Structure 1
Amino acid sequence: MDHKRELTSVDLAALERELGGYEGAKLDKAYLYEDDLLRLKMRDFDRGRVELLIEVGENKRAHVVDADHVPDAPGRPPNFAMMLRNRISGGELADVRQFEFDRIMEFEFDRPDASTTVVAELFGDGNVAVLDEHGEVVDCLETVRLKSRTVAPGSQYEFPSARFNPLTVDYETFLERMRQSDADVVRTLATQLNFGGLYGEELCTRAGIPYNQAIGDTDEAEFERLYEVIADLKARLRSGDLDPRVYYEYEEIEGEEIERRVDVTPIPLEEYDDVESRAFETFTEALDEYFYEVEREDTAEEIADAGVDRPDFESEIEKYERIIQQQQSAIEDFESDAEAEREKAELLYARYDLVDEILSTIQGARTQDTPWDEIEATFEEGKEQGIAAAEAVEGLDGSEGTVTLSIDDVRVTIDATMGVEKNADQLYQAAKRIEEKKEGAQAAIEDTREDLEAVERRRENWEAEDTTETQEQTAEADDVDWLSRASIPVRRQEPWYDRFRWFRTSNGFLVIGGRNADQNEELVKKYLDRGDKFFHAQAHGGPVTVLKATGPSESSRDVDIPDQDKREAATFAVAYSSVWKDGKYAGDAYMVDPDQVSKTPESGEYLEKGGFAIRGDRTYFRDLEVDVAVGISCEDWTGVLGGPRSAVEDRVATSIEIEPGQYAQNDIAKRLYREFKERFEDESFVRKVASPDLIQEFLPPGGSRMVE
């Protein structure tokens, strides 16, 4: 037997109750490892430290693990982990739920300022999405743009179509579902009732029914036994009456008998009566032991095979080609759907008199409170008399207030309360919305093609050079001349802080500043946490500037922020203030702790919007030069960066220093854009990631010029 790699719907139904027992635990910190393993470190009043792992890569799981089994904290946290920390640190785990009977778990965290839900998709390619209290996606590990659903930052999260839930249906519904199938019993349980192959076989065994027995040969008594064992399974899952097991097999390797873990289940399975097992107190403990040991086995195999295994480029290429096919199919569907909506709108105008007669008849009848069924009966009578308008009516839906027409062999449903023009306009608007989805899918397919090209280039490099993977990666990072490359792949990011002014210091600390009074208020109320530093220019009209103090493995209050990073944040506060706008080349700034910042004014004073009262001692930075550079990043992600030169220059392929000058923001942005185009061989890359509008986002207020 192969290792079990993914949790089943039954597993998640068992976990829903167990993990719900951790409600009230407070989140300390979030970590992200290699884009597929999320670790949520929490504190529980009764249990102490609680470590929740969510993995969506080759292994797909979500459960609590022993503190000794968590991986070491990674380096500086990526944007996704930083976003999670800012949104839910200190928040309480308020709810854990399985979506229907699907392989999706939702973890809801509540804080006084907001509610955030972490959605773990443990199927397909796997994904983690973070939702705000309105169900809008704040960020996700993978962007999904398909015909059936969209998961992308800024969009409303869309669950997959709900699967049939066999744990909530009555006997009549169960029986109807089973009898609709033309497969045998086990395949019907596995696919139509969504139990999967293993539990489909288990249910048959417990009910005493052969796997391959046809549905048509199954009698009432057998269906009743099946329903009873399903009801028993449901009762055990809901009540927490579990007896978790990890199953083992032994294989002989070079004369030595090796123990291999092959499965983990919330209850003992009769299907595994001949397989050795070990019982655990809780299902999470069983899952922890199972996946921890499986990963150790995997690591041992990788070490044994080191030096001879070639990366499986072909599987990666096949995956991206499959995704491109799906995205291309979605684009084609969007095109045909949009065209169909436009054709319906045009058909309404082409047959205006006919449609108007139908709508007028319905509206006139409704003003006299004629019931919908009587109106429909009137149209049926009209059909018998050969009246064209009546013959065009396929049906009415009183609950929705709609009428379905069949005109020139085209079926169209319209709002019976509106006129022809408004109905046609709704159809045109529907076509427009579909085309907007098509544009999103086109952008997604370009990103996928770039990912495919990157894999193909890695394969070429592997086959061309007889070096180790580490040497190749080092050479690529050190030797790439981005300015001379004919084609540069676009790797986009949309971090949560992108709408603010921002940069990262020399040591990687995030600095964010407000663009206006509203954002200044938001930064202090929502994002200024204990351990951070608050900066402001000693001049009116400057942005609130926050240096986020988050280290790789400590809580924020334990981080020692280097003086260089503080000075860069202070320089940023001065450069993006009225000092620049006034044409000055230097200014002062101060730094305070979060508890010194207040919205409560002194007695008799008034604070305008975006203003704050600062109490206590301040740390001053005197005569700071308004030192700003703008550049284009090509490593890790691609885009414009702007901020103090010392923080920007080492993070970009090329940069341009600017100073206060005579050119307005839009004019200097165009000049910088033209200069960047001249520096890069790949001009199309510059157009995609560094348009004048994008450059302008990183420019200080007021006039500027390039430093020669």
Structure 2
Amino acid sequence: MTSADVAAIVSELSAGPRSLIDAKILKIYQTTDAEIRINLFCHGRGKENLVIESGKRLHLSRYLKESPKIPQPFPMLLRKYVSGGRITKIEQHEFDRIVKIHMVRGGEETVLVAELFSKGNIVLLDADGKIILPLKPITFKDRRIRSGEIYELPGGHINPIRTPEKTAEIFASSDKEAVRVLANNFNMGGMYAEEVFAMSGVDKSKRACDITADENEQIKEAMKKLFGPIDAGTFEPMLVLRSVSGAVLPEMRPIGPSPAGTTAGPTDAADNAAADAAADAAVSAGAAVSAGAAVGAVADTAADVSPSVPAHDVSPAEKETDDSEKEDENPERPDAPLFTLPEGFEIVDVIPASLARYQDLPKVPFVFFSDALDEVFGKTSLTEVREKEKEKAVRRDKKTGIFERRLEQQKATIEKFDREIAKNTAVAEAIYAEYQFVEDIITVLVRSREKFTWSEIIDILKKAKKEKTNKVAEAIIQVMPADATVVVDLNGTRADIDIRKTVPQNANVYYDLAKKFQKKKEGAEKAIEDTLLCIEKKEKESHRSHSGFTLRVKKHWYDRFRWFISSDGFLVAGGRDADTNEELFKKYIEKRDLVLHTQAPGSPLTVIRSEGRTIPESTILEAASFVTSYSSAWKAGSASADCYVVRPDQVSKTPETGEYLKKGSFVIRGERRYIENIPLEAAVGLELKEETRVIGGPISAVKARGKVIFEIVPGKFNQNDLSKKMYRLYQNEIKDAKFLKAIASPDRIAMMMPPGESDIRAGPYDCLSEDSKNEPEKNKA
């Protein structure tokens, strides 16, 4: 942007329909190393996004980049100082490419300086001009842009709008070309300096000192005529195009919303109050907020109780729908661009007013200069980002197939659902744990509402909070009158309490949300199964071993559990977590099966599937080895552990009277058979006959079905590191890399290993070859 462009955008954003004066600052995001986006609420217009790119541009934008998932330090500090504040003034420093945005919050003034010249910066200053934080700390020969330093503006220039009378003095002191003197000393650049001379009719190549008094007056008048409309805000912005195909541009109306009927902002206290309420609503929730919505932290001090403050935690209603903050971080793209470049044309320039140098070129008029700048800078910048994202996606696709990428995303989604389930359940349990206290809060507020308004209640709470005379007041963090809801602190857990509901009803709001996320999780797990099926199908079609192996992959119900096939051919399955323990108990345990568990807590619920047959002792002992080795005893580094065996009818989910069973836990009733001092050891191998897959479990069971076997014991290497090491060693045995990765990638190997840290005791050895069958110890690691 030129200095004239900066003057025009400052003029537009300081007054009129696009004014940002008195706009409320919502959130700030850093979208690139040099760019920030300030989300604003403008009275009478709603949300706007001001984009500032240091060294380049400043304007309102509708072409918005997605924000990083983890906020960077600069926008976080800006939020701390200015979020919730208001813009009081926007000004250009002299006629330089420097914009100062003055802001106030809670009576404290700050200034955001945007340097739009080459190697520019974005700097936050306090009221005394001291640097709070720069976007890019840097030291120049004559300037230090670092925290704690006094901000010094670059060398000044003469403002052609404010002081055109200085031309005579400047011209008289130089013998250089007059156009160069005007461009450099008045900081207007060559293009606008030449325009001034073209409008004045004075020879631009004339020496400055030879400019006569009459010529000087002509130059001054030309400067007023050129820059006057910019200063007054009456300029007519436009895009300058060039035809590259001989096409003719038809006459066009100014592009953009009509400014007629819009207002710059509220003009009285009532309007300001209404605008504040609307702005706070925009901060609190982007969707309709039902009872229990919009929880939050207090604006200036943690001790205050505020009726409308941006939230730190997420309320029940916001959990169920996307909140406004999320919309701001990843804004939706416009349905259609404001302007589409006609075919056969290219953009030459964006200017705030018509210039003689472009008089023969086609032009597209705009209502607002900000929109014209956005079409050139904003759209181009977003397109460049999207192209880079596409290039990254292409490179990623070369490394990771589309199904593998989908699987990673689905796993991340399940993790997110797990967090939401845990969070909502914790809030519900906290409400029940503080049942009487929550009931007291509801009772006090209901009785208070019979006598006082919400504003009076908030004042009473503030006073009691400061005096520390009432536990109920101290526990209330925020009051939301519109929903008859308060946010309370229940021993460190924040909960929305609707005073129109009972304690159980408030708790059920969170339990219901947990159930909804549980259903979503189940859907995501089903989607993972479908994705795995697609991966297996793809691998089966595309991978065929050069060593004579054919990929044979089948889908089994037990794949999502821990499992092994005993040396006698019995399936043994165990849970991976509380959810799969529950599923195994409810769906897959039958009457003649046997159930095993360790004496100490922390093992998978394990079942030997009989399928109507008599289970031999050898399989029971292998299952005992399995249940102990895949328990928490392995994580603890123990050498051995004990377990017991029971019938399915001895396992129950019904606790004793007055007791409670958490998910994944069971009650065992009746006599148990104990198996003691079972060594903790396991094996991982490759099954290459009926099916091609990696298998794990007791050593004897893996030896009976597998090739290229590793024996492992509790040790010092985590699952990921050891699985990668085993994969590298497998590569020495299986020469077909694609086949090996399809059946025994490091992730698949890790799934067959016990939890916790391990060491390789022996292997790899091929148990099905006669040499290694007799002497497996030869290849001990």
Q: The TM-score by the shorter chain falls in which range?
A: 0.3 to 0.5
Task: State the TM-score, normalizing by the size of structure 1.
Answer: 0.43
Structure label with greater radius of gyration? 2
**What TM-score results when the alignment is normalised by the length of structure 2?**
0.39
